Amino acid sequence: MVGWAVGRLALVTGAGSGIGRAACQVLSREGATVIAADRNYDAALETIKTHTALASGSNDVGEHCAIELDVADSKSVQNLVQTLSKQYRVPPRIIVNSAGITRDNWMLKLSEEDYESVLNVNLKGTFLIMQTFAKAMAEAKVSGSIVNISSIVGKYGNIGQTNYSASKAGVVAMTQTAAKELGKFNIRVNVVLPGFIDTPMVKTVPDKVKESLLKMVPLGRLGTPNEVAELIMFLASDKSSFINGASIDVTGGY
């Protein structure tokens, strides 16, 4: 296979579904060896088996793999880095932080538990993965690209999503800071802000709310996971070699 990503290892969290799965698909198409990590191991395995191009080429770094991971648990993240260091001779140079959850409710009814679980996965999880794998890249003296997934509601807020919108605004701010700190190691960090994308996550939004949200999308439809994955792919590649600390909307104009 000839592709810009041949010989590069890509770690994708939340790889068992939606945007993470599409990112695995697109990155493997470009020749990357993909590590599909998800809390749901079976779903991550399904991504590798049926949604990725086959690993190929003698200059490749190895086979794709699926791995169980809870991004919110530092022990699980440490286990991951240790497992990967045994399995591959180089650290992943492409990191896509797509693991995320919602626990929507009116702010006046939101439980502390639902507040904390969303912040733990979406914000702390992104932090733990960035910190751990940026360290591995810096120690190995390899350049890299980290792509975080925020949300357009991190910019504008959304009814029922105090916890989620706060976590996603945090991801934007954290990305900008990480980009400033990691530039000297030649590690770029950027963030994507999807609008409403047709994945299992959006299936929980009541139809009435969905209809009114769609009225605010000039393109008049939900986006596809692949439309987000193509942007992730661009940010992961050397084609975006001077883009660092950027926040890019992919919303159909919302």
Ligand X SMILES: NC(=O)c1ccc[n+]([C@@H]2O[C@H](COP(=O)([O-])OP(=O)(O)OC[C@H]3O[C@@H](n4cnc5c(N)ncnc54)[C@H](O)[C@@H]3O)[C@@H](O)[C@H]2O)c1
Q: Which residues are catalytic?
A: 164
Output the smallest distance, CB 2 to ligand X, in A.
Answer: 29
Q: Which stretch binds ligand X (CB under 6 A): 23-31, 57-65, 92-100, 130-138?
A: 92-100
Coil, strand, or helix at residue 65? strand
Output the smallest distance, CB 25 to ligand X, in A.
Answer: 12
Is residue 197 close enough to count as binding ligand X by CB under 6 A? yes
Output the smallest distance, CB 186 to ligand X, in A.
Answer: 26
Is residue 38 close enough to count as binding ligand X by CB under 6 A? yes
Cα gap 16→69, rounded to integer Å: 11
Q: Which is nearer to ligand X, 67 or 182 (CB)?
A: 67
CA distances from residue 147 to 99, 129, 130, 179, 245 in whole angstroms, order as listed: 12, 11, 9, 11, 10
Cα gap 147→131, rounded to integer Å: 13
Q: Which stretch binds ligand X (CB under 6 A): 10-18, 25-33, 138-146, 229-237?
A: 10-18
Is residue 170 close enough to count as binding ligand X by CB under 6 A? no
Is residue 72 close enough to count as binding ligand X by CB under 6 A? yes
Q: Answer positive or negative: Cα dihedral of 132, 133, 138, 139.
A: positive
Q: Which is nearer to ligand X, 21 or 93 (CB)?
A: 21
Q: What DSSP character marks residue 73?
A: -
Residue ranges that bind ligand X, judged by CB under 6 A? 13-14, 16-20, 38-40, 43, 69-72, 98-101, 121, 125, 149, 151, 194, 196-197, 199-202
